[in-house]
Amino acid sequence: MPYELAYGKGVLSFDLPPGVTPQVIRPANIKGLPDPLNETRKALQNPTGTPPLLELLRMKKPKNLVLVVNDITRPTPYATLFPPLLEIFAAAGIKDEQITLLIAAGIHDAHTDEQNRQIYGEDIIKRFKIVCHDAGDDASLAYVGRFASGYDFTVNKLALEADFLLSLGVIMPHYFAGYSGGRKSILPGLAGRKTVENNHARMVEIMDHLPPIDENPVSTEMIGAAKQIGLDFILNVVVNDVQEPIMITAGEVEKAWRAGVDVSASLFEVPFDEQADICVTCASGHPRDINAYQAQKALDHADHLTRPGGTIILAMACPAGYGEHVFEEWMRRKWPPRKVMDEIKKHFVLGGHKAYGYAKVAAEKEVSMITDMDEELVALLYARKFSTVQQAVDAACSKYGPGAKWAYMPEGSLSLPVRRSVKI
Three-class SS state of 301: helix
**In terms of C-beta density within 10 A (0-12 exposed, 13-18 middle, 19 or more buried), how is residue 401 classed?**
exposed
* CB count in 10 Å sphere of residue 355: 30
What is the DSSP annotation of 63-86? SSEEEEEE-TTS---HHHHHHHHH
Give the CA-trace dihedral at 377, 380, 386, 392, to 10 degrees: -150
List Cβ<8 Å contacts ≥24 apart for 387-394: 388/12, 388/14, 389/5, 389/12, 389/13, 389/14, 389/280, 389/313, 389/315, 390/14, 390/15, 392/280, 392/313, 392/368, 393/14, 393/15, 393/16, 393/17, 393/280, 393/313
CB 359 within 8 A of CB 338: yes
The domain 2-27+270-419 having CATH identifier 3.40.50.740: the answer here is no
Tally of CA atoms within 13 A in the half-sphere of 216 that contains its CB: 27
Rounded to an integer, what distance in angstroms lies between the CA atom of residue 203 and that of residue 216? 10
Rounded to an integer, what distance in angstroms lies between the CA atom of residue 124 and that of residue 89? 14
What is the DSSP annotation of 382-416? TEEE-SSHHHHHHHHHHHH-TT--EEEES-TTT-E
Per-domain residue ranges for the chain? 2-27+270-419, 36-268
| Beta strands 152-156; 141-146: pairing state | antiparallel
Rounded to an integer, what distance in angstroms lies between the CA atom of residue 301 and that of residue 390? 21
CB 347 within 8 A of CB 371: no
**What does pTM read for this prediction?**
0.88
Per-residue pLDDT of the chain (424 residues; tens, 9 = 90+): 789 999 999 999 999 999 999 999 999 989 999 999 999 999 999 999 999 999 999 999 999 999 999 998 788 999 999 999 999 999 999 999 999 999 999 988 889 889 999 999 999 999 999 999 999 999 999 999 999 999 999 999 999 999 999 999 999 999 899 999 999 999 999 999 999 999 999 998 888 788 999 999 999 999 999 999 999 999 999 999 889 999 999 999 999 999 999 999 999 999 999 999 999 999 999 999 999 999 999 999 999 999 999 999 999 999 999 999 999 999 999 999 999 999 999 999 989 999 999 999 999 999 999 999 999 999 999 999 999 999 999 999 999 999 999 999 999 999 999 988 755 4
CATH architecture of 36-268: 3-Layer(aba) Sandwich (3.40)
Partnered with residue 409 across adjacent β-strands are 281
Rounded to an integer, what distance in angstroms lies between the CA atom of residue 136 and that of residue 116? 21
Give the CA-trace dihedral at 130, 133, 134, 135, to 10 degrees: 180
Give φ, ψ of 159 to 5 degrees: -70, -45
Three-class SS state of 381: coil
